[in-house]
Structure 1
Amino acid sequence: MRITILETSDIHGHMFPYLADKSDRIKQGISYIYRYVQQSRKEEEHVLLIDNGDVIQGSPFMLYHVKNESDHPNPIIQLLNETRYDAAVVGNHEFNFGLDFFKKAMSESKFPWLSCNILDEKTNEPTFGQPYIIKKFGEIKVVVLGATTHFIPNWEDPHHIEGLLFEDAVQSLKKWVPSIQQAEKPDLFIVSYHGGFERDIHTGEAIEEETGENQAYKICQEINGIDILLTGHQHQQMASQINGVHIIQPGFNGQGIGKVTVEFTKRNNRWEVEEMNSQVVQWDDVTPDESILQSVRPFEERTHKWLDKIIARSNGGLEIHDTFQARLKEHPYVEFINKIQMHATGAPISCTALFNNAAKGFSQSITIRDVVTNYIYPNTLKVLEVTGEDIKEALERCATYFDLRNDEIIVNRQFSEPKPQHFNYDMWEGIDYTIDLTQKTGNRVISVTYNGEPLQKDHLYHVVMNNYRASGGGGYTMFQNKRVVIEMQRDMTELIIEYLEQNKWIEATVNENWRILKG
């Protein structure tokens, strides 16, 4: 007997085969997933379909839904229901719009949500329904146990996770796996973990700081009894084995699907795994079945009308033609975002990032579409009280984004592998600073001034940044547990749109308050 396990992860609300522009079609989204799943169900007798988390946030369409139609049925959940998922795991981005929004999405789901290590702080019991499911295929019993990266409190707005405890995923699995093994005696044990790999899956070498955000390698090494580990969060595509555990990670935005086939043979009155194969299926030979999208077409058209609304105009200097150059030398768009953060909070110092290499800035006619495709995360703002030494340490962290190779400035591999992390390089406004890449790491910031005076090591300064950075996210641990002077509950896309609507005309300016040198 053969069982096929299919996994999606990090769909991030991408329903359609394009990002925001209909003419720019990409092989991604639910229509490709649906086609492949339907074909698999025709060809295979036993198919198990699991989503590994981060499904309800991350696209302009979901932003429109949460801002304008949150009382309507959740469109991405509607499509997952139509695709007939067997279960979904709670991802970290499920909390971005608050618990009420997530709970409504769960209530509309025709499949269970799983996570054994997100607990109710009053009962210490799993919060979101059941931690695992049992699926029977004839005589074969399959268990799917869900777990979620416990690093969420380091990123998320505390109001969005109020009343929840995030138990260390490894420690939680060490309790649940043997307990389930003893109680259920499954023929196949699957863990679906919304998290990734902290070590190279082939060499075991550390590929990032072991903060606990990603623990998949540790799970394979320290927990016995797991046959298959479904992973995600890092947006990578991989299929391999670690310590006898078959691992899979299917990518993001519905650009592929993880597939594990398991052949069983019955011996001594018990089903045993005879052979197991894993792969990531890309859509090279798959055509989308857009019939599944018919139910959300009216929603799609309403979203496009909203996105195409012109809310301001500029002199055209806010366009980004090269994101690398925009990070290497101050760009008007980056300065504009920092100034909005300062305007909204009154903070005298600000830092922000270009989140990915798809950022194009603003043209002369600025639409809502321009805002949401450039500022892709639902960040809120916090003003922290930090020392001059904290700012210096943060700038040194920023300086690690660049490396020198043959006297040419390049991006440090740590910010591109195993997952692009351009969002962890900040550019600052309100201070003047110079970074010299020929200096040793940790000593690259050769000058920092505030109001024309050197930054004082022990002096306190107010700095506005997004909530992810304020929690220490991205390796900025110097910001953890600092006093919060101001906390904005509205997200940045709202603030940017409001600013543009109020001002109508935006002048591109650059004060060149920072420099990157190579000697």
Structure 2
Amino acid sequence: MSPLSCLRRGAACASWLLVAAALPAQSRVELVLASTTDVHGRLRAWDYYQDAEDPARGLSRIATIVDSVRRANPGRVLLVDTGDLLQGNPLAYVAARRDTTGPHPVIAAMNAMRYDASAIGNHEFNYGLPVLDRALGQARFPFLSANLERLDGGRAYAPMTLVRRAGVTVALIGVTTPGAMVWDRAHLEGRVRLHDIVATLPAVVRDARAQGADLVVVMGHSGLGGETSYDTVATGLGSENVLARVAREVPGIDAIVIGHSHREVADTTINGVLLVQPRNHATSLSLATFALERDGARWRIASKRGQLVPARGHAESPAVLRAVARGHEAALRYARETIGRTTASWRTDSARVQDVPLIDLIQAVQLRATGAQLSLAAAFTLDARLEPGPITVAQIAQLYPYENTLRAIKLSGAQVRAFLEHSARFWLVEPDGQGGLRARPDPRIPGYNFDLLAGAEYEMDLSRPAGRRITSLTYQGRPVAATDTFTVAINSYRAGGAGGYAMVVGAPVVFDSQEEIRELMIGEVRRRGTIEPADVGTVNWRLLPPRRSLRVIAYNDFHGAFEKRPDGTAGNRGGAAELAALIARARAECAPGCVPVVLHGGDLFQGTPASNLAFGRTVVPLLEAFGTVAGALGNHEFDWGQDTLRARMRELRAPILGANVTDAAGRDVPWIPDDTLLEVEGLRLGVIGIADPATPQTTMPRHVADLRFADPVPVITARAAALRARGASAVVVVAHIGGFCDLNDPDRCRGEIIEIARRLAPGAVDAIVSGHTHSAVSTVVNGIPIVQARSSGRALGIIDLPASGGGPARPQVWSVTSDSITPDPAVAALVRAAEAAVAPLVGQAVVTVAERLPREGGQYALGNLIADAQRLAGRGDVAVMNNGGIRAELRAGTATWGDVFEIAPFGNRLVAVSIRGDALRAYLEALVAGNGVRYHVSGLRIEFDPAAPAGARLRRVTMGDGSRLDDRRRYRVIMSDFMAAGGDGARLAQGATVEDLNTVDLDALLAYLRGQPGGRLVPTPALTAVRILPIQQ
């Protein structure tokens, strides 16, 4: 039968008590550890804020329970507390600041209850070390802190005490959370040092055992676990809440009494250690019962258990009431004093969801006292209120219960924004189970760490992810810039960075009064005499409820890029497994406030051996693993013909869309969907796919000879209207059409997709995912956000569209910095399997490359090399190679078959074109007719005037032997069948004859490289020379 059950059954258990008392003490004993924590001055069952009895709390009620437990277990009870006793209500304040000559009521009550020991809590330091030392000097029991080192020569605090009960030696060890060094820096810096709890305890526990302790109890003023509310790296302090770690990592402990976190733990065990925590404010008493049995000369714990006894329903102890009578009367006089009046009703019950006058009163006092531009304050309680009539000290004390003093610091606009973003983490957003969202306070973040700003106007939008929730931050009507500077009123607790506000640590202090803010507020009410909400209330902030937004996560031009690759000097980029991990991060970052959808901009398959040798089949599971829901039809989707494309489309769950593709008669193509209406987590999203109208010039023309590619704008307009009529709440275009933006100014853009956006009617679509040009685009045109994420999985595009109201956030392009991303393991397995299937071929060494041959600009050595290789393979006079067919650079070192394949992955056949010199001249004119040169040649040198009209730009064509181009002679020109068919826009004249050489461009390049002298490719001046040379006339 337990002590608690005996208490509940009253006289009926008297006989049990007699039997228990008669058991032989030498062989077995049962000890009871009674504990309280975080009493915060709640000595009597009295609420000084309400000026009424408190039926649920009070150390005077706890004392009655303790007396009963002692009677039931004579000589076998220990009573301890884990700290935070001396601060927390008007009684504690008066004892520290007003009635300082008599006995401290908290110590008097604990002496009356015969406590055995107490840990030192962080709030013990709130009034400074002299006040603490005076109070502790009155105690008839030790205050303990093993990790607290005194530096100023003042009173030292013992780490532990040994207590004997019924022949058992019990070690009581106290520890204090190191956060006190942040929260009470002004009182402690240079005077004490608080060491890491976990690092401190092992030696103390070993010492306790060496001194004969049979039972070791840690009284920890630290929470069980969870976040630390200060920056441990910047401060160098140990973590705040570590007692679960202590149980796991420090051997030799039998029980831990938890404090600090104001929670309740009846009975839990970690690593064999019993953990208990009574409710704060003397609301409950913990009883930990230990059954010990003799084991030779020592005691062994046979069993241990914990339970809680609530204070409610127990009478107050007369002894405690007598001990605290003087303090109680002094507190009543202080709390009941009338300091002003009001005719209105004020409340803080909604102070964390809307701007209320009572919090504005705190802000007004801070602004007036400091003269600062801005003020920061928290709603410490949601229970404070003023009713029409007199205002008492107690009401202001309830509104501001802490002993914080007032400072003003200097912060930049960036720091102010960072502060507010950190504060906004207080709100958790989660699905409401009905397709919407709800917000609730994060239980890991105390309400007093949710700070509000006065003096500037801002909105906190809970639809946005944490870290990006502060919108419309303005000061005197002007947006706050990162470089702006403000003076900011702030309390001493927060100015030290408490609550994780690291951005204010070390900020220049421009005002420090050492006056307690509560007393300043009492003085302000006295000064005014009568206060009304209109006198202080200024609505300057709004909390916007969470609304589901749409997050478009986009990639484009994947080109079968299974593995990460070097990207110049920037390290590795891309990789399917790394891209998948970044997609998952993009999904998680905005959850649950967003509905994420993954879209692509086309060109999925063509480009690497692992894909091409399987005709893209190996890419399909990757796209599924990415979570792709729809995408655009790219030009390279046609490279293996329509039958192969249709096979891949059947295998993919996500549709590949091409709304502007028709047959030759202008009819819809049944196997190419125009659009799709997706239902994603309650949101209806319309997606329209657009193929590049130039597709016949950028893929093998014969593969699309029966198809037509229409102007996208009329098609988009019609399909968007139809999707909205079907219920789409948002419409996104995925287009394999590109553009380019200035790296230094993302809104200076050009290109076809930019022009399409400009031509669309405002509001026609909500976003565009672009592709094809392998560029980074993150801009807004005509109110439409546009994103393109480079190519080959090297980047990821993000567009966030609000559910209602307001414009979209600026699109983002995230680099896939592979070396800093943990790969997705499932996708990594797919990559390994696909790469292993082609590894024997791909890994074959071909040539050693002396120096890197990049693919940069319009003319480069690698293009010349490929043209030379084709001319040699076809025994031609001339060769022409399009830049669009050169897909990768040639890196220095050993070049493998796979490396070469990625340069020329399309498998185009080489042909020999027999053509007269005059027709060749006309063809060469076409090569230089555009804006920039997009071709390489071999066997001749072209000089042209780019300022001359197209068709009249050639100035000189010099053949490889130094002769001029002869218009009457026939020339043998080697090129790919793609080029011969008019690909890339340059068409041969009528009358040219074409001979299939039965050779693939890749084989020609491989043979050329393998034939390099000594197996080593060394770039020569002839190779690096510019062969299509612009000149000025």
Same fold (TM > 0.5): yes
Q: How does 1:21-170 map to 2 (within 5 A)?
A: 21-45=50-74, 46-121=76-151, 128-160=156-188, 162-170=190-198
Deviates more, 1:32-41 or 1:308-317: 308-317
Out of 192, 203, 214, the residue aligned to residue 187 of structure 1 is: 214
Say whether residues 1:380 and 2:410 are aligned partners. Answer: no
Q: How does 1:429-444 map to 2 (within 5 A)?
A: 429-444=454-469
Question: Partner residue of 1:314?
Answer: 342
Deviates more, 1:261-270 or 1:399-408: 399-408
Deviates more, 1:214-223 or 1:19-28: 19-28
Shift of 1:63: 1.4
Out of 384, 391, 396, the residue aligned to residue 359 of structure 1 is: 384
Deviates more, 1:137-146 or 1:344-353: 137-146
Q: Match for 1:170: what amino acid?
A: V
Q: Is the 8 A contact 2:181 2:188 kept in 1?
A: no
Shift of 1:24: 4.2
Say whether residues 1:293 and 2:335 are aligned partners. Answer: no
Shift of 1:12: 0.5
3-state SS of 1:505 partner: coil
Q: Is the 8 A contact 1:99 1:161 kept in 2?
A: no
Q: How does 1:212-291 map to 2 (within 5 A)?
A: 212-238=239-265, 239-283=267-311, 286-291=314-319
- For 1:122 and 1:497, the matched residues in 2 are separated by 34
Relative distance call for 1:209 and 1:92 in structure 2 (3 A) is closer
Q: Is the 8 A contact 2:58 2:311 kept in 1?
A: no
Say whether residues 1:464 and 2:489 are aligned partners. Answer: yes
Task: Note the alpha carbon deviations across 1:401-423, whole angstroms, 9 max, x for none.
Answer: 234454565323x2x35xx7111
Out of 525, 541, 546, the residue aligned to residue 500 of structure 1 is: 525
Task: Give the number of equivalent residue pairs.
Answer: 503
Shift of 1:22: 4.4
Task: Note the alpha carbon deviations across 1:26-77, whole angstroms, 9 max, x for none.
Answer: 2211211110111111110311111110101101111122232112211111
Structure 1, unpaired ranges of 5+: 200-205
Out of 321, 337, 353, the residue aligned to residue 362 of structure 2 is: 337
Structure 2, unpaired ranges of 5+: 1-28, 233-238, 548-1033
Relative distance call for 1:387 and 1:209 in structure 2 (3 A) is closer
- For 1:97 and 1:269, the matched residues in 2 are separated by 47
Shift of 1:302: 3.3
Shift of 1:122: 6.2
Shift of 1:178: 2.0
Q: Match for 1:37: what amino acid?
A: V
Q: Match for 2:30: what amino acid?
A: R
3-state SS of 1:488 partner: strand
Task: Note the alpha carbon deviations across 1:436-467, whole angstroms, 9 max, x for none.
Answer: 11112111112211122211212322111111
- For 2:213 and 2:328, the matched residues in 1 are separated by 43
Out of 506, 518, 522, the residue aligned to residue 481 of structure 1 is: 506
Q: Is the 8 A contact 2:288 2:305 kept in 1?
A: yes
Shift of 1:469: 1.1
3-state SS of 1:165 partner: strand
Task: Note the alpha carbon deviations across 1:167-194, whole angstroms, 9 max, x for none.
Answer: 111111122222332x313111111111
Deviates more, 1:380-389 or 1:282-291: 282-291
Relative distance call for 1:490 and 1:157 in structure 2 (3 A) is farther
Say whether residues 1:411 and 2:436 are aligned partners. Answer: no
Shift of 1:517: 1.6
Q: Is the 8 A contact 2:161 2:172 kept in 1?
A: yes
Relative distance call for 1:395 and 1:61 in structure 2 (3 A) is same
Q: Match for 1:422: what amino acid?
A: G
Task: Note the alpha carbon deviations across 1:240-266, whole angstroms, 9 max, x for none.
Answer: 111110011111111011111111111
Task: Note the alpha carbon deviations across 1:77-117, whole angstroms, 9 max, x for none.
Answer: 11110101111111000000111110000111111111111
Deviates more, 1:398-407 or 1:454-463: 398-407
Relative distance call for 1:472 and 1:362 in structure 2 (3 A) is farther
Relative distance call for 1:259 and 1:128 in structure 2 (3 A) is farther
Q: How does 1:163-178 map to 2 (within 5 A)?
A: 163-178=191-206
Q: Match for 1:27: what amino acid?
A: A
- For 1:160 and 1:122, the matched residues in 2 are separated by 10
Q: Is the 8 A contact 2:231 2:497 kept in 1?
A: no
Q: Match for 2:220: what amino acid?
A: Y
- For 1:29 and 1:186, the matched residues in 2 are separated by 33
Q: Match for 2:79: what amino acid?
A: L
- For 2:171 and 2:213, the matched residues in 1 are separated by 6
3-state SS of 1:506 partner: coil
Q: Match for 2:40: what amino acid?
A: H
Q: Match for 1:7: what amino acid?
A: S
Task: Note the alpha carbon deviations across 1:190-240, whole angstroms, 9 max, x for none.
Answer: 1111111115xxxxxx79899511111111111000011111000111021
- For 1:122 and 1:360, the matched residues in 2 are separated by 43
Shift of 1:161: 5.1
Shift of 1:379: 0.9
Relative distance call for 1:343 and 1:121 in structure 2 (3 A) is same
Following TM superposition, where does structure 1 have runs of at least 4 consecutive aligned residues deviating by more than 4 angstroms?
206-211
- For 1:340 and 1:160, the matched residues in 2 are separated by 27
Say whether residues 1:198 and 2:225 are aligned partners. Answer: yes
- For 1:210 and 1:390, the matched residues in 2 are separated by 16
Relative distance call for 1:363 and 1:376 in structure 2 (3 A) is farther
- For 1:443 and 1:36, the matched residues in 2 are separated by 51
Task: Note the alpha carbon deviations across 1:325-365, whole angstroms, 9 max, x for none.
Answer: 32222111111110100111111100111112222246442
Q: Is the 8 A contact 2:125 2:187 kept in 1?
A: no
Relative distance call for 1:138 and 1:437 in structure 2 (3 A) is closer
CA RMSD of aligned residues (A): 2.1
Relative distance call for 1:196 and 1:138 in structure 2 (3 A) is same
Shift of 1:162: 4.3
Shift of 1:127: 5.5
Question: Partner residue of 2:675?
Answer: none
Relative distance call for 1:299 and 1:270 in structure 2 (3 A) is closer
Question: Partner residue of 1:202?
Answer: none
Deviates more, 1:226-235 or 1:151-160: 151-160
Deviates more, 1:156-165 or 1:451-460: 156-165
RCO comparison, higher one (Cα < 8 Å, 6+)? 1
Q: Is the 8 A contact 1:114 1:128 kept in 2?
A: no
The TM-score normalised by the length of structure 1 is 0.92
